[in-house]
Structure 1
Amino acid sequence: MTITARALNRSTLARQLLLGRERLGVAEAVRRVVALQAQQPGSPYVALWNRVEDFDPERLDEALEQYELIRTTLMRLTLHIVHAEDYRAFREAMETTLRGSRLRDPRYRAAGFTAEDADALLPGLLEYAGTARSGAELRSRIEEVRGGPVEAVVWRMIRQYAPLWHAPTGPPWSFGTAQSFVTAGARPVLTDPEAPAAGLAVLVRRYLEGFGPASVRDMAQFALVSQGAAREAVRLLGDALEQREGPGGTVLYDVPGAPLPDEDVPAPPRLMAMWDSVLLAYADRSRVLPPAYRKHVIRVNGDTLPTLLVDGYVAGVWRPVDGGVEASAFEPLPARVWDGLAAEAEALGALLADRDPRVYGRYDHWWVKGLPAVETRLLPAR
């Protein structure tokens, strides 16, 4: 069975709960979409608002406070929110990437630390963090054990490598500018050489459930692992996966029985969160993001702007401003689409009003630098 590019788009939207908001609890919604990008504290809330019917942000607060959902460094070396039950396998899947990029970083070694130093330090540090500790407390603990000051890069690399969960410090969102950490409740195995391969097989299967069908290159991009490691995960999964042909003869893998909606199913307009995973989860990002717009949406430093999703594809960007949402379209949009975006903006305004109406205000400089908009409208918030 050959799958068209548009059918792949609709598959992504269906599995990411973007063909229609669904009535789900926040924990189940996160499991369905696999993971939420979370380096910007407000983005998981906007992401779930796009996907969950009658989304209540307090339910997300509660799930994070109770560590039913957790925030930690995982795929692509960035902060994600995942279900606590997924954490151990996902973290084991990322062990090789995290260890190589953090404990083998030349800046880390130049500061006088080695991977072996970190291995010796971690047991005591994790015991100390059995109760939530501030970043300052954990850094001081490292300095106490080492007998002197450590450079900022050492603390950064250790906190990103260690199996630590972020402890909520909000408001207005669950995580504020202050940082606090607690040892992971589901401790991953970091010393077994077979654990990363087994964990990656779990992660690949979950990825296909939430983002498939997908190629080996897509899997590798999603997790930031080598294509060889992704191929090994596919081999380990064996008959648990099925193979399809994608555009241009690309070999795609999928889980049997996963949604494959008709390519003509309508897709409603959405105001997508900054760094939404659908823009970053594939090597071929044209599945959702037209190549002509990529450099305007994913900026040179990696900032991934909040986007207008129209008929399932990025058609512009948006930002919160005084009085509502400023929507900038990269292409002409019909009146009915603007009406749909206006309705979304009104509802989003209600979500943000009690939290942070200017949730992405610190990124206004990208708009000051200019964007290729053919039309910009102020969509009033409620």
Structure 2
Amino acid sequence: MVITARALNRTTLHRQLLLEREPVGVAEAVRRVVGLQAQHPGSPYVALWNRVAGFDPGDLDEALSGFELVRSTLMRLTLHLVHAGDYRAFREAMEPTLRGSRLHDPRFTKAGFTAADVDALLPGLLAYAETARTGAELREHLVEGRGGPVEAVVWRMVRQYAPLWHAPTGPPWSFGTAQSFVTAAERPVLRDPEASAAGLAVLLRRYLEGFGPASVADMAQFTTAPRGLVRAAVKTLEGELERLEGPDGAMLYDVAGALRADEGLAAPPRLLAMWDSVLLAYADRSRVLPPEYRRHVIRVNGDTLPALLVDGYVAGVWRPVGGGIEVSAFRPLTAADWAAVGAEAASLGRLLADRDPHVYRRYDHWWVKGVPAAESRVLPS
């Protein structure tokens, strides 16, 4: 079976709750979309506003404070928000990548550390962090255990590798500049190839449920797992998957019997969060992001700007400014498009007004450097 590019687009939007806001709770929404990028504390709130009907940010506050949803370093070595029940399998899946990138970094050796040193210190660190601790407290605990200095880069690598959850530190977005950490309630098994392989199979099946159909290259991009490990995990899932031919002839996998959306479905405009997962989950990002716009949205350092979707595809970027939401469209939009985007901007403005009207302010320098636009408008909020 061949699937068209537009059907892939509509299926992705459907599974990512971007065709229609769904009347589901925040925990179920996060499970449905696999996880949410969470480098910026405000982004999961904006992401769920895009996806959940009647989204109440207080519901996300509550899910985070109760550790029903947790924030930790996972896929692509970046901060993600995932359901606590998914964390162990996802972390075990990421073990080879996290261990290789964090504990075998040349800066470790330069600072006099090895992976074996971390292995020796980790049990004590996790026991100490069973009660939430600040980053400074945990670094000092490492210093005491080490009997010597622990450079900032070493502490950063350790905290990203260790199975730690970020503990909420307060408004406006649950996590602020002050950092606090707590040991994962259900600790993953580390340094165990069998556990990692089993976890990767779980993660990839969930990925296909939330982002499929997709290729091995897409799955490797989403996880940052080596393609050899991805292929091995896919092989263990073969009885649960079906194969399709993509529009470019690539082999795609999907969960057997999964619903795939009709390419004729309408796709309403959306004002995506910064680093929204839908822009980062594929090797072939043209599914949602036209190639000619990629460098305008995903900048040279990896910053992924808050993007405008029109008819299911990126058509511009947005940012909060005094008086509303500034939308910079990469191509001309119709009057009807602008009216629909305006309604979204007004709704988003109400969400931000109670939290941080200028969320993403620190990234305004990208607009100062220049964002190419066919037209820019400040839409009142």
TM-score (norm 2): 0.99
Amino acid at match of 1:85: G
SS in structure 2 of the partner of residue 213 of structure 1 = coil
Stretches of structure 1 that go unaligned for 5 or more consecutive residues are none
Name the structure 2 match of 1:9.
9
Deviations 1:106-144 (A, max 9, x none): 011111110000000000000000000000000000001
Aligned residue number for residue 89 of structure 1? 89
Q: Quote the Cα distance in structure 2 between the aligned partners of 1:26 and 1:261.
A: 23
Q: Percent identity?
A: 76
Pairing 1:378–2:378 present: yes
1:280-324 CA-to-partner distances (Å, cap 9, x unmatched) read 000000000000000000000100000110000000000000111
SS of the residue 1:379 aligns to: strand
The 8 Å contact of residues 37 and 80 in structure 1, kept in 2 or not, is answered as yes
Once the two structures are superposed, what CA deviation does each residue of 1:216-243 show, in whole Å capped at 9, x if it has no partner? Answer: 0000000001111110110111211111
Distance (Å, rounded) in 2 between the aligned partners of 1:228 and 1:191: 18
* Corresponding residue number in structure 2 for 1:350: 350
Query: 2:170 — aligned with what?
Result: 170
Where does residue 135 of structure 1 map in the other structure?
135
Task: Provide the residue aligned with 1:186 in structure 2.
Answer: 186
What is the letter of the counterpart of residue 141 of structure 2?
R
Partner of residue 212, structure 2: 212
Quote the Cα distance in structure 2 between the aligned partners of 1:216 and 1:252: 8
- The one-letter code sitting in structure 1 at the alignment partner of 2:94 is M
2:59 is aligned with 1:71:
no
CA distance in 2, matches of 1:339, 1:126: 52
Q: Retained in 1: the 8 A contact 2:95–2:191?
A: no
Q: Distance in 2 between matches of 1:21 and 1:248?
A: 30
C-alpha distance after superposition, 1:36-95 (max 9, x if no partner): 000000000000000000000000000000000000000000000000010000000000
Offset from partner CA, 1:223-272 (integer Å, 9 cap, x none)? 00111111011011121111111112110000022221110100000100
Listed as ranges, the matches of 1:330-349 within 5 Å are: 330-349=330-349
Q: Measure the CA separation in 2 of the matches of 1:153 and 1:177.
A: 18
The aligned amino acid for 2:249 is G
Could you tell me how far apart the structure 1 residues matched to 2:170 and 2:11 are?
35
1:258 maps to what in 2? Answer: 258
Alignment of 1:1-382 (within 5 A): 1-381=1-381
Would you say how many aligned residue pairs link Structure 1 and Structure 2? 381
Give the Å deviation of 1:149: 1.7
Contact 2:201 2:237 in 1 (8 A): yes
Contact 1:103 / 1:161 at 8 angstroms: preserved in 2? yes
Aligned partner of residue 100 in structure 1, secondary structure: helix
8 Å Cα contact 2:271-2:308 kept in structure 1: yes
Deviation, 1:170, is 2.0
Aligned equivalents of 1:325, 1:183: Cα separation in 2: 39
- The residue identity in structure 1 corresponding to 2:359 is V
The letter for the 2-side match of 1:276 is D
The 3-state SS of whatever aligns with 1:168 is coil
The Cα RMSD (Å) is 0.6
- Report the Cα offset of residue 192 of structure 1: 1.9
Say whether the 8 Å CA contact 2:288–2:314 is kept in structure 1.
yes
Give CA-to-partner distance per residue, 1:163-203, whole Å, 9 cap, x none. Answer: 00000012111100000000001100003221111100000
Q: Secondary structure at the match of 2:248?
A: helix
Query: Does the 8 Å contact 1:14/1:259 carry over to 2?
Result: no
- Say which is worse superposed, 274-283 or 223-232, in terms of deviation: 223-232
Give the Cα separation in 2 of the matches to 1:248 and 1:283: 13
CA distance in structure 1 between the partners assigned to 2:326 and 2:83 by the alignment = 33
CA offset digits 1:22-41 (Å, max 9, x no partner): 10000000000000000000
**Which secondary structure state, in structure 2, belongs to the residue aligned with residue 87 of structure 1?**
helix
- Secondary structure at the counterpart of residue 193 of structure 2: coil
